[in-house]
Amino acid sequence: MNKIMYLEFERCIGCRSCQAACRECGGHDAKERNYVEYVDFMESRQTFPMLCMQCKDPACARVCPANAIQITEEGVVLSAMEEKCIGCRNCTFGCPFGIPKFDFEENKMYKCDMCYDRTQHGISPMCASVCPSDAIRFIDFDEMQALRRRRTQMNLIEGKKPTEQDKWQYVPEFFGVYSD
């Protein structure tokens, strides 16, 4: 994969254009596969984009008894294959990020797959192509590394220390995620 997804949560302005673009993406059956969540609704109106983290060892795929969730050579975790999915919903319970959703009417699971039909050809996923604040970007690995270095330098200047959060250890190297 030549390009990667890069998220900067604090850039999100809550416009939900990523969700609208996801609904319009071909093959998504007018369902959004990404979400905009509130950091703490009682404290502020700050939002952040939530899409599949494309885990290195995805719990959703690991707990699927029918082996319906496949992982591409590039490491993209795809939605469950309809012909294999038995509707057990283990994937929805197993994901630490709460990304897979289950459609009870159609009896199938769906989730963000980084618009694999687009990204495998180097085209930005729908959500990244419309994000006005650059909270979601589809960039080269070198650009991501430069942004990470600059981010680390700014955090040190501002006196911020890195924190440990267990669920982020599952996020692969090619998926740059940052939040304050």
Distance of CA 161 to CAs 154, 155, 157, Å? 11, 7, 10
Residues carrying CATH 3.30.70.20, the chain: 7-51+120-160, 54-111
- Write down the pLDDT at residue 162: 53
pLDDT in tens, 100-125: 999 898 888 889 988 988 888 889 99
pLDDT at position 157 over 90: no
pLDDT in tens, 42-54: 777 888 888 898 8
Confidence at 16, pLDDT banded by 50, 70, 90: very high
pLDDT at position 166 over 80: no
Better pLDDT: 152 or 93:
93
Confidence at 15, pLDDT banded by 50, 70, 90: very high
Instruction: Name residue 54's amino acid.
Output: Q
Class of domain 54-111: alpha beta
7-51+120-160: in CATH 3.30.70.20: yes
- Write down the pLDDT at residue 75: 87
Lowest mean pLDDT among 14-18, 98-102, 109-113, 164-168: 164-168
DSSP strand pairing (108-110 vs 101-103): antiparallel
Confidence at 169, pLDDT banded by 50, 70, 90: very low
pLDDT in tens, 137-147: 999 988 888 88
- Measured CA to CA, the distance from residue 53 to residue 31 in angstroms comes to 18
